[in-house]
Structure 1
Amino acid sequence: MPTYEWRKSSYSPDGSNCVCVALAPDGTVRLRDSKVPAVVVSASPRALRVFVDAVGGGALRSRNG
């Protein structure tokens, strides 16, 4: 696995239990959970923006709650 410069959320005061983000050399964005760092998700910047906007706009709210 390549080495990335991971950035942790500033909302995590002790640096744990957060989402980490890194920019890959190919321009994709890499995401991982600090509790399970071996699992890495890759997305284009545009796809990540669409996802974040959908979550923020409520489009992905659970139908069960």
Structure 2
Amino acid sequence: MSTRDWQKSSYSAQGNACLYVSAPDNATIRLRESDEPDTILTTTPNALAALIHSAKAGRLDRLGEG
């Protein structure tokens, strides 16, 4: 996959830890982080929307506790 297929998130600052997004078709979204560009998370638009909605609602705030 060429670098032109990826778009840097507007929320990413300059430097490290930048999030990149690629949507090669209407059914697939790919995410990667600048420090590990070969590690790619593939998901669907609906699943990503549900994750973002849950994060904004605070339902993931205590995920690592327990």
TM-score interval for Structure 1 and Structure 2 normalised by the shorter chain = 0.7 to 0.9
Question: Compared with structure 1, are the counterparts of its residues 58 and 15 closer, same or farther at alpha carbon in structure 2 (3 Å cutoff)?
Answer: same
* Unaligned 5+ runs, structure 1: none
Contact 2:19 2:34 survives alignment (8 Å)? yes
Per the alignment, residue 23 of structure 2 pairs with 23
- In 1, the alpha carbon distance for the partners of 2:7 and 2:18 equals 10
Per the alignment, residue 6 of structure 1 pairs with 6
Given the alignment of the two structures, is residue 34 of structure 1 paired with residue 34 of structure 2, yes or no? yes
Runs of 4+ in 1 over 4 A off after TM superposition: none
TM-score, structure 2 as length reference: 0.78
Number of aligned residues: 63
Root mean square deviation of aligned Cα = 1.9
- Identify the structure with the greater strand proportion: 2
TM-score, structure 1 as length reference: 0.79
Question: Compared with structure 1, are the counterparts of its residues 47 and 26 closer, same or farther at alpha carbon in structure 2 (3 Å cutoff)?
Answer: same
* Unaligned 5+ runs, structure 2: none
